[in-house]
Amino acid sequence: MTEEKTSLADLAPKPEEIERDGVEIPAPEPTKEIRVKKLPGGWIAGIGRRKTSVARVRIKAGTGAILVNGKPFDQFFTRIQDRLDVVGPLEAAGVKDKYDVHVRVEGGGPTGQAGAIRLGIARALRSENPALEGILRAGGHLSRDSRMVERKKYGLHKARKATQFSKR
């Protein structure tokens, strides 16, 4: 696996290029580098996580086939909302029929897995074409949903549910 580093500073316009109403506006400082993970065979990798699910996504120029754990994604996900989550980044970028997507996902349930795949696809697309970052970020596809299930505490039925109170 080789990594090419593309800095956002290379992509951002120079401060002298940005001018509004005669006032020069400095370009924002780049926050982090985009690491491109290229795999053999022309694949681009992206990893997504949601709840306890982890999705390892690979994209490559192709016909638009999406395979999840060796099955077509519409057989793997039965709920429409989960299917929309998976294809969301591809439709937002307008490249649904231009990339083949292969996914290995494990852990969690269907909703967490769909969210993990969504983030993995968005990260892979951003690695392939950094110009898509604004579109993907505006659609919320590049944001990691950090919500997790709260742990169960001892003496309680669930994380917060206690036994029923009896006055007498």
Domain count for the chain: 1
The answer to whether residue 50 sits within a structural domain is yes
Which amino acid is it at 167? Answer: K
Residue 112's CATH number:
3.30.230.10
pLDDT reported for residue 76: 96
Exposure pattern of 18-41 as b/e (b: 16+ CB <10 Å)?
A: eeeeeeeeeeeeeeeebebbeeee
The answer to whether residue 81 sits within a structural domain is yes
CA distance 129 to 85: 20
- What pTM did the predictor assign? 0.76
The answer to whether residue 150 sits within a structural domain is no
Q: What is the pLDDT along the chain (168 residues), one digit of tens a residue?
A: 555 555 545 555 554 555 556 666 555 555 566 677 788 888 999 999 999 999 999 999 999 999 999 999 999 999 999 999 999 999 999 999 999 999 999 999 999 999 999 999 999 999 999 999 999 999 999 999 999 999 999 999 999 999 999 998
The answer to whether residue 162 sits within a structural domain is no
Domain residues for 55? 32-138
